[in-house]
């Protein structure tokens, strides 16, 4: 099933994101996690791509296939292009097709100086266009409520986003954010720019201090004072911080749902306990 079909229903789309195990771990180590997450009954689960965008040893397709073919869960595979040639992408598309994966989150990928960049695809929009020309996939993309860190400003970023959606993106998933007002501002700006595809709000429940410090440094998400106070108060109490992070995420989701969000994309960090708590809290609102 193509994910774009989900947005035609009256129910708000509710999806998860998982990541493959580290290269030093076997793929079997993530199987129990996948089963527990599937039992939460999200509409689909996306699987992130390996570090550096290297296809070698990448478990994205394998995990997406397990979700689709073992657990009967609709899956989406992330696919990056900054370290891929057209031949690399062709091979990945063939592998996804052979495993029955119909949905792809097309990304440029992060620049990593430890890997040699390739130049067949400069931007995610190039990858979107190429996939649409070389296979029958549902292609969606990422967006940034506060603007991409490499963009000159939010206006320039939304102009680039329009190019990507015009290349054939069916819907968008936002980078994590902690201030809903920034999301609403971004949504208004995309509407003015003529971007008329559904937008899923990416929500990450913060369960430890190092997690948030790492994510903020990577994506530049701003921290509202309400969020910072919660982190400061409970940073030395792991269980309290976990529960406070879950409560903050639930509060965000309830507000987003009441304001007509197209969908919620939960960054689970492969944590079924957190995913279950949040799902149980909002399932009757979807």
Q: What are phi and psi of 34, to 5 degrees?
A: -60, -45
Relative to beta strand 199-203, strand 13-18 is unpaired
Phi-psi region of 245 (alpha: psi -120 to 50; beta: other; left: phi over 0): alpha
Q: Is 102 a catalytic residue?
A: no
By three-state DSSP, how is residue 144 classified? coil
Which sign does the torsion angle of CA 234, 240, 241, 244 carry? negative
Closest Cα to residue 267, out of 54, 48, 67?
Answer: 48
Q: Which of 5, 10, 17, 146 is the catalytic position?
A: 17
Q: How many CA atoms within 13 Å lie on the side-chain side of 193?
A: 21
Residue 229 CA to residue 108 CA, distance in Å, equals: 34
**Rounded (to 5) percent helix, strand, coil in the chain:** 50, 15, 40
DSSP code, position 83:
T
Burial class (CB in 10 A: 0-12, 13-18, 19+), 215: middle
Can you name the residues that pair with 15 across neighbouring β-strands?
Answer: 44, 265
Separation CA 84–CA 117 (nearest Å): 8
**Residues acting as catalytic residues:** 17
């Amino acid at each position: 099933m193509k994910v774009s079909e989900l947005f035609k229903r009256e129910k708000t789309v509710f999806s998860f994101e998982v990541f493959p195990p580290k290269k030093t771990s076997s793929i079997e180590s993530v199987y129990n996690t996948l089963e527990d997450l599937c039992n939460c009954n999200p509409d689909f689960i996306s699987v992130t791509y390996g570090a550096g965008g290297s296809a070698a040893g990448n478990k994205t397709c394998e995990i997406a296939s397990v979700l689709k073919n073992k657990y009967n869960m609709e899956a989406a595979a992330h696919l990056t292009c900054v370290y891929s040639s057209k031949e690399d992408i062709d091979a990945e598309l063939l592998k996804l097709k052979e495993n029955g994966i119909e949905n792809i989150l097309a990304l440029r990928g992060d620049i990593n100086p430890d890997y040699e960049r390739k130049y067949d695809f400069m931007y995610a929009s190039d990858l979107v266009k190429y996939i649409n020309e070389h296979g029958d996939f549902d292609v969606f993309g990422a967006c940034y409520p506060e603007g991409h860190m490499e963009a000159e400003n939010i206006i320039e970023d939304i102009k680039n986003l329009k190019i990507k959606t015009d290349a054939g993106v069916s819907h968008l998933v936002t980078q994590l954010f902690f201030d809903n007002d920034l999301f609403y501002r971004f949504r208004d700006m995309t509407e003015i720019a003529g971007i008329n595809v559904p937008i899923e709000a990416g929500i990450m429940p913060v369960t430890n201090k190092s997690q948030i410090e790492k994510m903020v440094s990577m994506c530049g998400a701003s921290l509202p004072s309400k969020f910072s106070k919660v982190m400061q108060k409970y940073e030395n109490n792991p269980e309290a911080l976990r529960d406070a992070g879950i409560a903050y995420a639930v509060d965000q989701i309830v507000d987003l749902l009441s304001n007509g969000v197209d969908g919620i994309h939960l960054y689970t960090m492969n944590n079924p306990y957190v995913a279950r708590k949040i799902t149980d809290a909002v399932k009757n609102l979807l």
